[in-house]
Chain A
Amino acid sequence: MDTITIILNGVEVSGYPSTTILDLARELGVNIPTLCHDPNLASTGACRLCLVEDERNGALLASCVTSITPGMNINTNSPRVIEHRKKILKLLLASHPDSCLVCDKGNRCQLRQLAAQMGIGLNEFQRLPQNDIIEEVNPFIERDLSKCIMCGKCIRADQELVVEGAIDYIHRGSLVKAATLNEVPLEKSECTFCGTCVAICPTGAIMEKERAYTGTVTNTVTTVCPYCGCGCTILLGVKDGKVIQARPAEGSPVNAGTLCVRGAYGWDFISSSERLTTPLIRENGEFREATWEEALAAVAEGLGKIKESSGPDSLAVYGSTRCTNEENYVLQRFTRGILGTNNIDNGSRLYSSASLTGLGATIGYAGTTGSFDVLERSKVIIVIGANPEISAPAVAYAIKRAAKYKGAELCVIDPCFTQLARFARFWLQPKVGTDIALLNGLAKVIIDKKKFDMEFVSRMTDNFRKWEESLERYTTDYVKKVTGIPAREIQQVAQLLAEAEEASIVYGNGVTQYATGTDAVIAIANLAMLTGNAGRLGGIFALQRENNARGACDTGALPDFLPGYLSITEPQNRQKFEEKWGVKLPSAAGYSALEMIEKIREGKLKGMLIMGENPVESFPQPAQVKEALSSLDFLVVADMFLSETARLASVVLPAASFAEKEGTFTNFEGRVQRLHKVTEPVGNSLPDVDILLGLAEAMDSPLPYSSSQEVMEEIEETVPFYRHLAFGEAEKKDSDLADVDDGGTATRRLHKGLFPSGFGRFSPVKYIAALPPEGYPLTLVVGSVRFSFGSGGRSSRSDRMSRFYNNGCIEINSTDAVKLGISDGDKVKVKSAHGELEGIASINADLHRGMLFAPVSLLGSSVYKLFATVIDPQSKTPAIKSCNVRLERV
């Protein structure tokens, strides 16, 4: 593209057409003050503070909205510019209260910064009457619109970035302000407390509510949000050695200026008083505090004894998706090389291993094939079995932006209403457990109409004929009968998908946490390949619940794979690591997470190390899990808190939080991101990696790493797709996501649609009807809710989130409620064939008839006690998304 040359402050510079004067200046390090401009928002040119002068004709231009044109002679600091800028600032300050000195926005207030820079006192102008502080009871956000300068950024952020629509202008003229519908407080509006408007507001008009979280931070550290698989970049602000606030990173390719309530406010579990600060050793049934030397020696002895008496395979290790790549890598090396067993797994077994298995079998690449920007530019987006508004908010924002502002057609496939359905052209409500029939049916319509991507299918894939034949049965009529979705809608959605230039399919736990989860993932991959939307265009987006689910698997915390998904049963794979580590590795695949519990019950496992996971709350049938873990000869748990599982341990090791350590996390896209230490670990807690290194030493087999960096260097060497990713460069945008040109299996991404094995493979999958058991007519669906994440280990210890959360309800459709004589707020009992649970009923008109919804943790008790342990034979994931129940009033 040709460039345009202009003169900027006397210097000749050039930029591309349509670059604004402001962008060009900033690129060159020339500072122009702004208030209403934000790099993530479309510019409106409202405040005029960014004025510059064109010296050819003396025109004053708003630099944030004016593109460069040839011959411009721009002065960013002419006397006229300065005079005008001062005038504008004074006008703004005139309607601003005199409370700067006590305003808690402190040095984050841009208005105050600018006034100081330009030497403007704070009370030269006459004051105008003002709107007041709005009474809100939420613990997160406070609005004092007397400090508002009406730049409109909060409104634009709310509508254009997070697309919630909680606030907009109300009234006009001097009465205008940013308000919720009917001017209710935020907690009564659509607001999700994502904090995006707080971060973007240039003044103290919108800010953190509580004193404990306000004030001037002295140090800001860039790191990664510890909650969901999106892996948003957050800036943690420290005051007096304590983290007091979080802000989104403006330039992050993941979250671009946005966060959700967990990233913005939910991190405060790090300073919970419940944090473990010292190792604990069980003696005569009671915990006593211990030193690290004592504790590590006790663990070395406990595990060592079992290894000696019952053999290495009587030990098992359960790693965490909340721990870093380096920690999981060291953990698997410790397990294989020192304990001498492959009995190692990680928490993602509970929700995303169907993706590993299913995608591995079809596209040959075990994860999401696209990045955030691919998703956002898709012309058709299908969301199936996922509620990203809750499980992966940054993904939801991207989908909503695509649907609302970029012309994408959205189709939501979910038996439950989700907020995303509001933005959808189609909301299909299949009966629970019938996804495979629907997906096969869609494929059949596309094939019958000859609307598939023939070129892609014939050139890039394999096994098409056989698959096509297997679809014979899935006529629209049959699919309609099975799923309950009208034939017309099936045809319309199939057509939409087939005709889209670029389509993406997003799925989540609603697909993977079923006994047929792997088959459903395969059906999704088949559909994506059929329409040419795998890798080349659009993509498959496999959401993952926890932050580092992807990384824990990539780095080999799996019973059947070495780092980089190298099968453990292949001698040459083992040899590679045996040479590197100088030890002999066990050759048989180990037990997966749920098999471990089974094997304990069978007496085959006698000792376990659990790092950062809480199986008692997250596995089906908690009572049995508890019983099994208590029956172990030796259990060691490393955790931040004394979790239900840690309470059963022989030794408990206090682990540091994400804010207290270095390392990397890999988000659901496969983006490897750097974690930075913000504060020192609380008390005597230690990062998991240090715990492991200490333990290896206590077992007389020290591991040769002295820092996370050294571990990452080894990962880069041993895991091909982490290769081009120097530890230090992990935060350079996209260095991790770029197509690598050497094709082959080493590439991180599908290279221009090239599958790692050369071909994508269509695989037939069948829908199998599951008959509901007699006497349990309702289907209970379980999921996360906004203020309680997963089984609640961290969110329930977040000061603000737990105070705001009502502990969860059992949601029921209004018709069913009437039929059962249940009204809102009634105490009810849910019964399944496996257990029962009490809770409070809440009527939800959007729920399908015959369905109930409950959060994973209900009044502090795990809903999984209602579930049988049913396992997907392929992925070994337990079916913990839904079960058959009945409901009674108590």
Chain B
Amino acid sequence: MTKLQQKKPKISMKQIEKIITEYQGKKWALIPLVQKIQEQAGYIPPETIPIIARHLGLFPAQVQGVVTFYAQLYTTPRGNNVVRVCRGTACHVRGGKSILKLVKQHLGIDEGETTEDMEYTLETVACIGVCALAPNLMINKETHGNMNPKKVARLFGKSEKE
């Protein structure tokens, strides 16, 4: 297996500022705007917060407040691939915890962290809705069911990564 998925587009501050200007003066537009930035830049660079605030007529601290409130909005760069290990009940009773531990070992990072090469970000989620296949994990939008140590190694093991 080669690359798990296409590298996400990284865009310049200039382009981000262009997105922001589209929403000029619309206070309600904060959430759609930051979502759009995140979609295109992969995260919401903190240096954009004062610019967003100025264009929307909000205080920078207010924008930060909203951005940090939603777990789905990030102010740090994210890996090219986001791994989400399920910690829902079904997965938990079928060894989800060990799966998480294994993934951590393979990637060498903790929950909420990103590998140095920017390949992976590791997160956990509550039930992802395919309990029958527990334990589960997701890589980006793809679900991987019936996880076991072997499979984890196959997904994240050194040999596969080259």
Which A residues contact B (CB, under 8 angstroms)?
159, 164-172, 179-182, 189-190, 404, 422
Contact = CB atoms under 8 A, between A and B. Distances in A.
B61 A167 contact: yes
Nearest to A167: B61
B64 A181 contact: yes
B62 interface: yes
23 contacts: A164-B59, A165-B59, A165-B61, A165-B62, A166-B59, A166-B61, A167-B61, A168-B59, A168-B61, A168-B64, A170-B68, A171-B68, A172-B69, A179-B61, A179-B64, A180-B61, A181-B64, A182-B46, A182-B64, A189-B61, A190-B59, A190-B60, A190-B61
Contact of A170 (B57, B65, B71): B65
Q: Which of B49, B57, B59, B71 has the most CB of A within 10 A?
A: B59
A164 B64 CA distance: 15
Contacts of A189: 61
SS class, residues of chain B in contact with chain A: helix
Given A172-B69, A181-B49, 10 more contacts: A164-B59, A165-B60, A168-B59, A168-B65, A171-B69, A181-B61, A181-B64, A182-B64, A190-B60, A190-B61
B88 interface: no
A872 to B, nearest CB: 38
Interface in B47-68: 49-50, 54, 57-62, 64-65, 68
A871 B58 CA distance: 43
B5 to A, nearest CB: 30
Nearest to B54: A422
Contacts of B69: 169, 171-172
Contacts of B50: 181
A170 B64 contact: yes
Contacts of B59: 159, 164-166, 168, 190
Contacts of A165: 58-62
Question: What range describes how many residues of B lie at the interface?
Answer: 10 to 19
Contacts of A190: 59-61
Contacts of B57: 404
A164 B61 CA distance: 10
A398 to B, nearest CB: 18
Contacts of B46: 182
Contacts of B64: 168, 170, 179, 181-182
Contacts of B68: 170-172
Nearest to B59: A165
Contacts of B61: 165-168, 179-181, 189-190
Contacts of A182: 46, 64
A159 B61 CA distance: 10
B52 to A, nearest CB: 12
A189 B61 CA distance: 9
Interface string B72-116: 000000000000000000000000000000000000000000000
A168 B62 contact: yes
Contacts of B62: 159, 165, 168
A690 B60 CA distance: 52
A42 B68 CA distance: 24
A588 to B, nearest CB: 57
A166 B59 CA distance: 8
Contacts of A180: 61
Top 6 closest A-B pairs, CB basis? A165-B59, A168-B65, A168-B61, A181-B60, A169-B65, A181-B61
Nearest to B61: A168
B123 to A, nearest CB: 16
B30 to A, nearest CB: 13
A165 B62 CA distance: 7
Nearest to A169: B65
B31 to A, nearest CB: 15
Contacts of B58: 165
Nearest to A176: B69
A481 to B, nearest CB: 30
A169 B50 CA distance: 16
A169 to B, nearest CB: 5
Q: Which of A168, A169, A172, A404 has the most CB of B within 10 A?
A: A168
Contacts of B49: 181
Nearest to B49: A181
A168 B54 CA distance: 16
A315 to B, nearest CB: 56
A189 B71 CA distance: 25
A169 B49 CA distance: 15
A845 to B, nearest CB: 14
Contacts of A181: 49-50, 60-61, 64
A165 B65 CA distance: 11
Nearest to B71: A172
Q: Which of B49, B57, B65, B71 has the most CB of A within 10 A?
A: B65
A167 B61 CA distance: 6
B6 to A, nearest CB: 32
A399 to B, nearest CB: 15
A190 B61 CA distance: 9
A110 to B, nearest CB: 25
Nearest to A175: B68
Nearest to B65: A168
Interface in B23-63: 46, 49-50, 54, 57-62
Nearest to A165: B59
Nearest to A182: B46
A484 B71 CA distance: 48
Nearest to A172: B69
